[in-house]
Amino acid sequence: MSNILAITGRPNVGKSTLFNRLVERKKAIMDNESGVTRDRHYGFGQWNGKYFTIIDTGGYVTGSDDIFEEAIRDQVKLALDEASVILFMVDCKDGLTDMDQDFANILRELKKPVFVVANKADNPDLIMMANEFYGLGLESDIHVIASTSGAGTGDLLDAVVEHFEDSDLENPEEGIPRISILGRPNAGKSSYLNALLGKDRSIVTDIAGTTRDAINTRYKLFGKDFILTDTAGIRKKSKVKEDIEFYSVLRAIQSLQDSDVCIVMIDAERGFEAQDMNIITLADKYKKGIMIMVNKWDLIEDKTTNTAENFRKDIQEKLGNPLSYIPIIFTSVTQKQRIFQAIELAIEVNTNRTRRITTSELNDAMLAEIEHYPPPALKGKHIKIKYVTQLPTRTPSFAFFCNLPQYIKEPYERFLTNKLRSHFDFRGVPIKIYFRQK
Ligand code: GDP
Ligand code: GDP
């Protein structure tokens, strides 16, 4: 599955305004790093129960006199190549411009669903202006919106998500965990895949080509079946050196959408970095199993008994409490240290992700906890949680039935989540709880 929505168009038409409206939390996923990564915007959205990643290509277009040269730079092209649906934004106030026309010509070549989005249609006169964009000659309806107020965006999304796959789509190789290995360039991902495979693999995929599906390899190890989604080697073929970082992020987004468990690989010498956090945040939102593999552990000198523990604490501090469920393993791919344990851990995480707890087990454990520490009364009203059940969702989620669900606040929700985790093994798995009226 790859549900990626790219928003593109010339500067100032309102791309980032729409982006901010569509992502779940404002700029939830942002790459703050200096150097090759600049103004990149990745976000997570959901609509009609479908999940998708949104890319604002705007960041690459600004800051140049020769804007159009800039606009079609490789990074924009890459983003558009990876996208499954493209929103091509134009501006009703400015009308159809030459640059819009140039953009349209490029988009036509891509042979992908392109939606022409006529923005800034703040009033009926401007709405009428939108007809002008039929002149672009794209085979698309014109979707008229106003990003600042949100008008029209609901209808637009209805149409967009039609093109997206169901996140809960049954997997053709049912039950076999799909594991992806993500992480910054040079962390050791390809070496790891090679180590597991026992031989060097060369992946011949032309970056300029159109299909770049992940290569899925099915394994049998310790009597367990799993599929490794191999994306690591592909970027090596990139002809565009400065795109490596960017491309690896796009790959990671695709790859994680397509897997059950993500192994986020970190270079021990570099430590835990902002981009690792971005990937983990995204994986958590997609409700994937997650584990961290601190690789190149052999390069850490003068290790004492506390070194790993301190390293682990440091990562956990950066992750913060809501992500403390993520297990961390220390490996050396070159020394073949714990490389199979890492896979075993990933399989265990997958098992936890599919864990089903019976309602009676849940109530036995949780009602006792609740009785011991009931939700605090609010505005003089007592909140009574009557029972809890696991929902039939693909990833663990639980409904707590109570008299006044709206009165339960975040700290108590966190308390219940922590208690669920202490009674049942959901290591490596995001869990979600809901409060419902009873
Ligand atoms: P980008 O360069 O394409 O990302 O454009 P921005 O999102 O930064 O928007 C450029 C300007 O257009 C900002 O001043 C926005 O507030 C404004 N803008 C965006 N959407 C609308 C809209 O629907 N109506 C109006 N009137 N202004 C808008
Ligand atoms: P990728 O970009 O994440 O696929 O990383 P590579 O697999 O290409 O590895 C980058 C470099 O790190 C290569 O020179 C590897 O030999 C080296 N490397 C990978 N794993 C380890 C490890 O566990 N220890 C050490 N010392 N080097 C490693």
The confidence band for 383, taking pLDDT boundaries of 50, 70 and 90, is: very high
Rounded to whole angstroms, how far apart are CA atoms 286 and 274?
19
Which residue positions form the known binding site for GTP?
Answer: 9-16, 56-60, 119-122, 183-190, 230-234, 295-298
The set of residues, in sequence order, having a beta carbon less than 8 Å from that of 100 and lying 6+ positions away, is: 9, 10, 90, 133, 136
Q: Among the bound ligands, name the one nearest to the CA of residue 238.
A: 2
Instruction: Work out the number of other CB atoms within 10 angstroms of the CB of residue 137.
Output: 11
* pLDDT score recorded for residue 198: 59
The confidence band for 274, taking pLDDT boundaries of 50, 70 and 90, is: confident
CB within 6 Å of ligand 2 — which residues? 183, 185-191, 232, 295-296, 298-299, 332-334
The confidence band for 305, taking pLDDT boundaries of 50, 70 and 90, is: confident
91 is written with which tokens?
A: 């501006």
The answer to whether 432 and 396 have CB atoms below 8 angstroms apart is: yes
The confidence band for 431, taking pLDDT boundaries of 50, 70 and 90, is: very high
Stretch among 49-63, 105-119, 353-367 having the lowest mean pLDDT: 49-63
The set of residues, in sequence order, having a beta carbon less than 8 Å from that of 377 and lying 6+ positions away, is: 383
Distances (CA, A) of 387 to 360, 365, 369, 422, 431: 9, 11, 12, 18, 18
The answer to whether 228 and 60 have CB atoms below 8 angstroms apart is: no
Is the pLDDT higher at 142 or at 332?
A: 332
367, pLDDT greater than 90 = yes
* pLDDT score recorded for residue 16: 86
* pLDDT score recorded for residue 61: 46
- Identify the residue whose C-alpha is closest to ligand 1 atom 26: 120
Stretch among 21-25, 40-44, 370-374 having the lowest mean pLDDT: 40-44
* C-alpha 289 to ligand 2 mean position (Å): 24
Is the pLDDT higher at 341 or at 224?
A: 341
* C-alpha 24 to ligand 2 mean position (Å): 35
- ipTM entry: 0.64
- Identify the residue whose C-alpha is closest to ligand 2 atom 12: 188
Is the pLDDT higher at 238 or at 216?
A: 216
Average pLDDT of 352-376?
A: 95
Average pLDDT, the chain: 81
The set of residues, in sequence order, having a beta carbon less than 8 Å from that of 154 and lying 6+ positions away, is: none
Average pLDDT of 51-68?
A: 62
The confidence band for 195, taking pLDDT boundaries of 50, 70 and 90, is: confident
Stretch among 45-49, 186-190, 304-308, 338-342 having the lowest mean pLDDT: 45-49
Which residue positions form the known binding site?
Answer: 9-16, 56-60, 119-122, 183-190, 230-234, 295-298
pLDDT digits (tens, 9 = 90+) for 83-101: 889 999 999 999 999 889 8
Strands 215-221 and 261-267: unpaired
Give me the sheet containing 261-267, strands edge to edge: 215-221, 224-230, 178-183, 261-267, 289-295, 328-330
138, pLDDT greater than 90 = no
Distance from the first to the final alpha carbon of the chain: 37
